[in-house]
Amino acid sequence: MKYIPEPFKIKMVEPIRITTEQERREKIAQAHYNGFSLRAEDVYIDLQTDSGTGAMSDSQWAAMLRGDESYSGGRSYYQLLDNARDIFGYEWIQPVHQGRAAEKVLFPVLIEERGQFVISNTFFDTTRAHVALAGGHPIDCVCPEGLDSGLDAPFKGDMDLEALERHIDERGAENIAGIVMTITNNSVGGQPVSMANMKATAAIAKRHGLPVVIDAARFAENAFFIKEREAGYAEVSTRDITREFFSYADIFTMSAKKDAITNMGGLLGVREEGEHVPDVKSLVISGEGYVTYGGLSGRDLAALAVGLVEGLDEDYLRYRVGQVAYLAARLDEYGIPYQRPAGGHAVFVDAGRLLPHIPWHQYPGHALAVELYVEAGIRSCDIGSFLMDRDPETGEQQQAPLEFTRLAIPRRTYTQAHLDVIAEALGHIQARADQVKGYEIIWEPKVLRHFTAKLRPVD
């Protein structure tokens, strides 16, 4: 594979502890076989998430020292406002403490009546949960290509336009609160959405009078994929691609802990300040803090203002996407199945295919995550049926369309040598794949169970 130019040099390092296999077996058992319950100090390479785990730049750290900690109307807020308006072209920008906070204040306003539907190319876990908590019913509507992990297609995160039209016709536009476009499409492998698909989705929504919301956590990676893969955009900057893409939506929510490369923060944006904004402001003030800080310190706002710009740098994005592609190429050497092509932030190993003897209700994606920790101290997570909460109407276990183990790579954090360790560890597991056991849940909460559930191996 072609070398990956890394557009930075390392200025500071953090030591990480290397444990023994016996220690790891004890630690994961004490955590009730849930990686979220492990202590971070007992993890060697942490691929659980790319959310808030990246390395900030010297410019971001310098901005933090200059952060304005005024309660209202601080300078750092207006710096963030200027940068966000310039990038996205939206009138109203609201900072919040992270992406799920934006969902928490938006969906109770957007879903006006209990029982309304919200349709997405695919909801991620917190978005799905907040739709349900607000009284709505989430519907996934990804294109068929996204459900075939072995198929190599450029935009497997796209909305299934025919299915979208069918859902609207069958349920009635008056019973649909809105349409959510997740970029990149995390649950199907960090797969991008094309500009053409976004434009067509917006046209369908406009015809039926429905608002379009972008879940924008990985907006910059999506813009880079459009530049690399979609006809007519090779010479267009990622910033201009972003501006056009967002012009087709009405609202966006964002975890800034991903493509804005901050450890904490989120945004909610409305293209034209209108009827929903006063109600959202009220929820922000009561739940997050005053509107000009939204649950963030001034230093966090300052780091976010810088990170939004750095996250769109094309040298950085080329390295970012290239690092994930490198890990995928190493997995190819072992014949390990994953969602092809590799996404922008993670490699999604197809645990259902790697561990075909484990049925979906024993969570092969989670089983592989546990095994990877035992093998090499690498923490990852399930993106499959374990991630899915029970059906709120029937209480039945829901089956995910694919059983993935996500290897989410933090930004500017791990070296190529770390990626080699990950690939080799998975190769060792593959050699004894038939010995890996499934898992059963012995305790779970009602919502977002994968964060705190307790499990045990199935004998």
pLDDT (0 to 100) of residue 1: 58
For residue 346, report the phi and psi dihedrals to the nearest 5 degrees. Answer: -160, 160
For residue 10, report the phi and psi dihedrals to the nearest 5 degrees. Answer: -85, 125
- The residues facing 118 across adjacent strands are 138, 178
Our measurement of the distance from residue 431's CA atom to the centroid of its chain's CA atoms, rounded to an integer in Å, reads 30
pLDDT (0 to 100) of residue 273: 84
pLDDT (0 to 100) of residue 59: 97
Task: Identify whether 233 is part of a domain.
Answer: yes
Clarify whether residues 404 and 419 are in a common domain.
yes
Task: Identify whether 3 is part of a domain.
Answer: no
Clarify whether residues 252 and 349 are in a common domain.
no
Clarify whether residues 344 and 324 are in a common domain.
yes
Radius of gyration of the chain from its Cα atoms, rounded to whole angstroms: 21
Clarify whether residues 96 and 200 are in a common domain.
yes
| CATH number of the domain residue 102 falls in | 3.40.640.10
Clarify whether residues 305 and 318 are in a common domain.
no
Clarify whether residues 253 and 402 are in a common domain.
no
Domains identified in the chain, total number: 2
Domain end position, chosen among 310, 340, 365: 310
Burial class (CB in 10 A: 0-12, 13-18, 19+), 145: middle
Task: Identify whether 6 is part of a domain.
Answer: no
pLDDT (0 to 100) of residue 272: 87
pLDDT (0 to 100) of residue 2: 63
Clarify whether residues 265 and 411 are in a common domain.
no
Domain end position, chosen among 293, 310, 327: 310
pLDDT (0 to 100) of residue 4: 78
* Cα–Cα distance, 397 to 388 (Å, whole number): 8
Task: Identify whether 118 is part of a domain.
Answer: yes
Of 128, 103, 99, 381, nearest to 260 by C-alpha is 99
* Cα–Cα distance, 448 to 121 (Å, whole number): 20
* Cα–Cα distance, 420 to 341 (Å, whole number): 19
Which residue range is the domain that position 192 belongs to? 58-310
Task: Identify whether 70 is part of a domain.
Answer: yes
pLDDT (0 to 100) of residue 398: 92
pLDDT in tens, 422-457: 999 999 999 999 999 999 999 999 888 999 999 999
Clarify whether residues 179 and 224 are in a common domain.
yes
Catalogue the active-site residues.
Answer: 71, 124-125, 215, 217, 258, 450
For residue 295, the 8-state DSSP code is T
Task: Identify whether 99 is part of a domain.
Answer: yes
pLDDT (0 to 100) of residue 145: 97
Clarify whether residues 201 and 182 are in a common domain.
yes
| Residue with token string 């004490």 | 30
Clarify whether residues 75 and 219 are in a common domain.
yes
The counts of H helices and E strands in the chain are: 15, 14
Domain end position, chosen among 260, 284, 310: 310
pLDDT in tens, 112-171: 999 999 999 999 989 999 999 999 999 999 999 999 999 999 999 999 999 999 999 999
- Nearest-10 crossing angle of helices 238-247, 219-229: 110
Task: Identify whether 159 is part of a domain.
Answer: yes
Task: Identify whether 351 is part of a domain.
Answer: yes
For residue 338, the 8-state DSSP code is B
| CATH number of the domain residue 46 falls in | 3.90.1150.10
Clarify whether residues 124 and 107 are in a common domain.
yes
Structural tokens at position 274: 């209108």
What residues contact 154, with CB distance under 8 A and at least 6 apart? 192, 194, 225, 229, 230, 341
pLDDT (0 to 100) of residue 391: 85
Structural tokens at position 122: 């695919």
10-residue mean pLDDT series, the chain (459 residues) = 81 94 98 98 97 96 97 97 97 94 93 94 92 94 96 97 97 96 95 98 97 97 98 98 98 96 96 85 92 96 98 97 96 97 96 98 98 98 92 88 96 96 98 97 93 96
Clarify whether residues 89 and 177 are in a common domain.
yes
